[in-house]
Amino acid sequence: MRIHVLGSAAGGGFPQWNCNCPNCEAVRRGDPLLRARTQSSIAVSSDGEAWVLINASPDIRAQILAFPDIQPRQARRDTGIRAVLLTDAQIDHVTGLLVLREGERLPIYCTRPVYEDLTTGLPLLSVLEHYCGVDWHALELDGTPFEIDGVPNLRITPIPLESKAPPYSPHRENPHPGDNIGLWIEGADSGKSVFYAPGLGEISVAVRERLMQADCLLVDGTFWREDEMAQTGVGHKTASAMGHLPQSGDAGMIAQLKHARAERKILIHINNTNPILREDSQSRSRLSEEGIEVAYDGMDITL
Ligand code: MLT
Ligand code: MN
Ligand code: ZN
């Protein structure tokens, strides 16, 4: 199984267009200790030919240009992307769907609450009916693995997450199962597993189990601190109000990953304010001591 990180930043990307926090200012200035990142998306394949795109970021056009393996190879109009799988209905995970409008009918795998948000509060799927059209495949939360048509040898199980529905969802302050899911993906050939959860607010028993079992973890790296937005002077929302578990703290992500057996523990969906983006920061050294990696655009993982 191959996992290709198309975009490793949280919503806004890095640098964010209007942000002058120390990280954004430094990366814009060309400081070699930080690297720019596009918004959250990965592609997964078993054979390197047929790919499932997991989340479609507003940066998708640049992401496809940077990754030849999913570019057209055969027919006059062609793509390596066989389907799109969505973990939630957040802007940074779905607005790239509009960029795929020139293609064939688009197979979209998502839960019913996500489908509802994308046909009401942010009706991208309704808009796409006037272009390529979409074939919705409803994801169930009963723990049964499914396969994506045309993407062989991947078994995927949706895992409900405690996080946040987007602001335009009727579920924003009234969470429903399926607003946010993580993905347990097994390679049928390799027998290896990855747990992908870019937005993870709380560690439920079911999530804890997956964190302990996976061969590879790609999990929420949004914030270092609960009050990071306020501390950096860019806003007032806390990490938990946004549905993200910070890395630091007694019950933070570092503590949660302590006893995980995964051969790779990787943080992804990193907000531009996060000090781990700076390679010489204390927080980054702390991660290295714990064997935790920080995803970057173009990171390619073979399991
Ligand atoms: C989030 O994951 O909380 C979002 O990236 C926030 C946003 O897109 O503004
Ligand atoms: Mn996000
Ligand atoms: Zn910033």
Mutate to test the pocket of ligand 1, among 8, 91, 92 (most ligand atoms within 8 A of CB): 92
In terms of Cα–Cα distance, which of 116, 129, 130, 122 is closest to 58? 122
Q: What pLDDT shows up at residue 125?
A: 98
Closest CA to ligand 1's atom 9: 11
Per-residue confidence band for 234, with pLDDT thresholds at 50, 70 and 90 = very high
Q: What pLDDT shows up at residue 286?
A: 98
Q: What pLDDT shows up at residue 264?
A: 98
What are the CA-CA distances from residue 2 to residues 186, 192, 262 (Å)? Answer: 11, 11, 16
Q: What pLDDT shows up at residue 16?
A: 98
Per-residue confidence band for 76, with pLDDT thresholds at 50, 70 and 90 = very high
The pLDDT of 187-214, averaged and rounded, is 96
Full-model pTM: 0.98
| Residues around the ion ligand 3 (C-beta < 5 A) | 16, 19, 21, 24, 272
- What number does the ligand 1 atom closest to the CA of 198 have? 2
> What CATH homologous superfamily does 2-297 map to?
Ribonuclease Z/Hydroxyacylglutathione hydrolase-like (3.60.15.10)
How close is the Cα of 19 to the center of ligand 1, in Å? 15
- What number does the ligand 1 atom closest to the CA of 244 have? 3
CA gap 55, 61 in Å, rounded: 13
Mean model confidence pLDDT for the chain: 97
Q: What pLDDT shows up at residue 267?
A: 99
Q: What pLDDT shows up at residue 75?
A: 94
Determine the residue type at 241.
A
Closest CA to ligand 1's atom 6: 11
Give 112-166 pLDDT, tens digit per residue.
999 999 999 999 999 999 999 999 999 999 999 999 999 999 999 999 998 999 9
Closest CA to ligand 1's atom 5: 11
- What number does the ligand 1 atom closest to the CA of 40 have? 5
Per-residue confidence band for 266, with pLDDT thresholds at 50, 70 and 90 = very high
- What number does the ligand 1 atom closest to the CA of 243 have? 3
The share of the chain scoring above pLDDT 90, in percent, equals: 99
Higher pLDDT, 189 or 63: 63
The pLDDT of 71-89, averaged and rounded, is 96
Mutate to test the pocket of ligand 1, among 8, 16, 90, 220 (most ligand atoms within 8 A of CB): 90
The pLDDT of 46-73, averaged and rounded, is 97
Q: What pLDDT shows up at residue 294?
A: 98
Q: Where are the domains of the chain?
A: 2-297
Cβ atoms of 238 and 227 within 8 Å: the answer is yes
Binding pocket residue ranges, ligand 1, CB within 6 Å: 10-11, 90-92, 199, 242
H/E/C letters for each residue in the chain?
CEEEEEECECCCCECCCCCCCHHHHHHHHCCCCCCCECECEEEEECCCCCEEEECCCCCHHHHHHCCHHHCCCCCCCCCCEEEEECCCCCHHHHHHHHHHCCCCCEEEEECHHHHHHCCCCCCHHHHHCCCCCEEEEECCCCCCCEEECCEEEEEEEEEECECCCCCCCCCCCCCCCCCCEEEEEEECCCCCEEEEECCCCECCHHHHHHHHHCCEEEEECCCCCCCHHHHHCCCCCCCHHHCCCCCCCCCCHHHHHCCCCCCEEEEECECCCCHHHCCCCHHHHHHHHCCEEECCCCCEEEC
How close is the Cα of 257 to the center of ligand 3, in Å? 26
Cβ atoms of 293 and 218 within 8 Å: the answer is no
Ligand lying closest to the C-alpha of residue 14: 3
Per-residue confidence band for 33, with pLDDT thresholds at 50, 70 and 90 = very high
- What number does the ligand 1 atom closest to the CA of 222 have? 2
Q: What pLDDT shows up at residue 39?
A: 98
